[in-house]
Structure 1
Amino acid sequence: MQIADRVFLITGAGSGLGAAVAGRLVAEGARVVLADRAAEAVQAQAA
């Protein structure tokens, strides 16, 4: 499955598995929307 240029919503993206999946998707060229209860953690991931 090609994931480049697709958009993914990742919940729990502030840490752990969600952060790892988000990072991998971005590395593969996907567009990623991050969501987590901890806004600071998501902002750190996005940077």
Structure 2
Amino acid sequence: MLAVAAYDRGDYPTASQIWQRMLKQFPPESNEAKALQIMLATVQQKE
């Protein structure tokens, strides 16, 4: 995953952008959307 690679190298803005785009692909209540929301919250704390 590109977002994970960006996160691992400390490129939090890129990781956030990718995860935000991915989030739009899933229904809001899906497990995928919930997981992405958690990842976004984590990366936003580091920005």
More helix by share: 2
TM-score by length of 1: 0.36
TM-score by length of 2: 0.36
More strand by share: 1
Bigger relative CO (Cα 8 Å, ≥ 6 apart) = 1
